[in-house]
Amino acid sequence: MAKKSNGRHKLAIYPGTFDPITRGHVSLVQRAVHLFDHLIVAVSKNAGKSPLFSWKQRYEMARDSLAGTPKVEVIQFDGLLAELAKKLRAKVIVRGLRAVSDFEFEFQMALMNRKMAREVETVFLMPSLSWVYLSSTIVKDVAMNGGDINTLVPPPVLVAMEKKIRRGKGK
């Protein structure tokens, strides 16, 4: 599992619905692995949302998109993130902030996670400027309306989106 570095546990969790995972998510993973010994990308079931892709499909796209990325493991989880962090003995939750509009929600979630798991810190990372505008919602909207998402998503997601769109059009 995770290593210890300088006597400190450096396992982090990057949770999300990842519906689908985008190049922005991948960029954030690549930045986070430089900060931690091991990064777990945790694909949430998230019953509160109505995802385009099934939980299994989202997990598989994330796993395939991050295959070969050193120090990264992709898992599925259902339930409270604070409980997952305690179970895995992770000390850090990584979250991405694209704009000020993300901050309020992420801040509330970080405070709630801290209330439930005092030993777990939340670290916010900003995406690289080339991906600051990008979200899974935008990717889905562009794809469903015939736009080109080739540069916005990793190849496994592009294949899955093309299949989903063809099936949606009855082909």
Residues with a catalytic annotation lie at 25, 49, 98, 136
The position carrying tokens 């409270």 is 80
State how far the Cα of 14 lies from the Cα of 43, in Å rounded to an integer: 9
Report the amino acid identity of residue 108.
Q
In terms of C-beta density within 10 A (0-12 exposed, 13-18 middle, 19 or more buried), how is residue 123 classed? middle
| CA distances, 53 to each of 50, 105, 152, 161 (Å) | 9, 23, 17, 9
Helices 55-66 and 23-32 meet at what angle, rounded to 10? 60
